[in-house]
Amino acid sequence: MRDDNVTNADVLLAWYDKNARSMPWRIAPMDRISGVLPDPYHVWMSEIMLQQTTVVTVRDYFVKFVGRWPTVFDLARAVDADVMAAWAGLGYYARARNLLKCARVVANELDGVFPVDEAALQKLPGIGPYTSAAIAAIAFDRQASVLDGNVERVMARYHLVKQPLPASKEHLRGLAVQGLPDARFGDYAQAIMDLGATVCTPRRPSCVICPWAQGCRARALGVAQDLPKKLAKLPKPTRYGTCFVAMRKGGDVLLERRPDKGLLGGMLGWPGDVWVTEKVDAVPPFGASWREASEEARHTFTHFHLRLKVQYAVVPDDFEHAHGQFKKLALDDLPTVMRKVWKRVPAVA
C-alpha cells in the first residue's frame, strides 16, 4: 500500500532519480537537487532540435553545434550558410532558420539572457507553447507543464481518456497541469517525458515496471496499448519533380542554395523544377548531354511523398552557371532528400 501523502509526482520523481536518461544537455537529478541548473542556451537548443526529432538523432547534432558555437553570442555571429550546412540531415529546416533568428534576438537585444517565463519566451522566433514550457521548467525550474506526444500518451492511459487526439489535447493538458508537483519542476518535466519515452511507449508499454502502474486506469482494463486514440489521417499526396546533377570532369558538382522561404529553405541542393502533383517533363537548366538515372529518388515529408527523376551530365571543367556554384561534394552539407538524389547517380561520371 502506498502512503496517501505520497503523490504521483513524488513517485515519478523517485523513479526519475534512479532512471533518468543521460543526455549531453541535461543536469543529473542529484546535481539539480543540489542547486545546479543547466545552461539555458543548451536547453533551448536541445528543445528546438527535439521538435519532431528523436533523442537518438539529436545527440550528435547537439554536441556538434555547441562544440562549434559554445554560446548564444557565437551562434548569433555565425554565417547562415554554415549553420544550415551543420543542420543538414536533421530535417524541418525552418527550425534552423528560427534558431539563428532567435540567437540574434537573445544576443543582440537581450544581452544573451533568455527570458524565464513562458509568455516572454513565446515572443522569440521558433518558440511555441510546448517549447516555452519546456525551457521555463527545465532551464529555470519554473512551474510549467510540458505536453509533448509522450506526455499526451501517459495522461491518456493513466486517466483512461478515450476521446481521440487532437480533440482531446486540451483535456490532456489540463490533466497534466493537475499533476504538477510543488517543487522540482524541471526534473518532473523531464521525468514524465522519460516515462513516456522509455516505459509508457506507443507499442508494448512496460506496465510491469511503470511507477504509475498502481493507479493507471488503462492498465487496469488491459487497454493501455490502445490509447491514445487518434483520428484517422488522410493519405499523403504525392508530388513529382526532377533534379539535375551536373558534374565537372574534375569531380566538382553544381549546387544551388534554395530560397530562404519554403521547404528546405536556405539549404544547398541540386538544380531542379518545382515539385507538383502531376508528372511533367522538366526543362534542364542548361544544355548538356543529360541522361536519366535508372531509379528515381523517393522521400517522404510531413505532408507529402516526393518522387524525383534524376538527370545527370558531365560538363567541362571550365563550365560555369549563373545560378549555382561548382564545388567539391560534401554529402553532410546536403539535406537527406538531396543525398538520396546523389545515390541515384551512376558512378560513370
| Beta bridge partner(s), residue 312 | 245, 291
Q: Residue 266 region, left (φ>0) first, then alpha (ψ -120 to 50), else beta?
A: left
Q: Strands 253-257, 268-269: parallel, antiparallel or unpaired by DSSP?
A: antiparallel
d(Cα 152, Cα 174) in Å, to the nearest integer? 11
Q: Residue 35 region, left (φ>0) first, then alpha (ψ -120 to 50), else beta?
A: left
Residue closest to 141 by CA, chosen among 181, 193, 197: 181
d(Cα 108, Cα 103) in Å, to the nearest integer? 8
Q: Strands 325-327, 253-257: parallel, antiparallel or unpaired by DSSP?
A: antiparallel
For the question of residue 295 being annotated catalytic, the response is: no
Residue closest to 14 by CA, chosen among 173, 205, 187: 187
User: Helix count (H) and strand count (E) of the chain?
Assistant: 14, 7
Catalytic residues: 47
